[in-house]
Amino acid sequence: MIRGGAGKGRFVLCPPESRRSVNDPVADVPVPWHILRMSGPQNQVLKWEPLPDLPQLPLSFVGGSFDGDRLKVEATFAYGAERTSVLIEFGAVEAHEVCEEFSDWLLTIDSPLPRLVNPKLPTYTWPFLEVRNSSWVAEKIARNGTIDEHDWKHLVVLTLDRTLHVMIAGEVESAAIENDKD
């Protein structure tokens, strides 16, 4: 698993000895009753469109940097659009996490994932998602204990082999598309 650090810098790989396990007391934090009573189905996954008219293609790469409050992300499309990237700046970031495709908890939830509208790639998931009533956000709120006054959003950037989860208070600060014509 790759995790964003608490300080300035880029994503870093967590060594195995620092990963959570059943013996980690933090992994066993009880979830408060008001979190368990979230309205609507838990982990409801919806299509998120950071920009209109994005290509109906999966992403091949996501990278970024975190300065302690803002997370700047570049996500590059695959399959013929490798020179097209979406640049997203998330502000008021409380948590972010990058998972390798088979380590991502998103694969274990019951909510259907939105698909691309591309006849050549009908089984591929739309690469930008919002998770409503997120158990991942609920876990962060329970662990912290002092941050539940915000309307937290759980946004996801999904590539062919990585998933970026971001917990923000409010809206995305900016998003742009970049076409590298070199």
147: alpha, beta or left? (left if phi > 0; alpha if psi -120 to 50) = alpha
Confidence label for 87 from pLDDT (cuts 50, 70 and 90): very high
CA–CA separation, 86 vs 177, rounded Å? Answer: 5
Are 58 and 121 contacting, i.e. CB atoms less than 8 angstroms apart? yes
Locate 121 and state its tokens.
């790639």
CA 1 to chain centre: 13
Residues 6+ apart with CB under 8 A from 147: 94, 140, 141
Asked if pLDDT for residue 7 goes beyond 50, the answer is: no
Min mean pLDDT across 4-13, 59-68, 117-126, 130-139 is at: 4-13
Amino acid at 44: Q
Structure tokens at 103: 């380590």
pLDDT in the model for residue 180: 79
Mean pLDDT of 106-125: 90
- pLDDT score at 162: 95
* DSSP track, 44-82: EEEE--SSTT--SS-EEEEEEEE-SS-EEEEEEE-TT-T
Q: Which helix (H) or strand (E) holds 33?
A: helix 33-36
Distance CA 123, CA 43 (A): 21
Q: Map out the domains of the chain as residue ranges.
A: 2-14+40-179
Residue written as token pair 């189905």? 41
Tens of pLDDT, residues 25-70: 444 444 443 344 445 679 999 999 999 999 999 999 999 999 999 9
Q: How far apart are CA 4 and CA 168, in angstroms?
A: 14
pTM of the model: 0.77
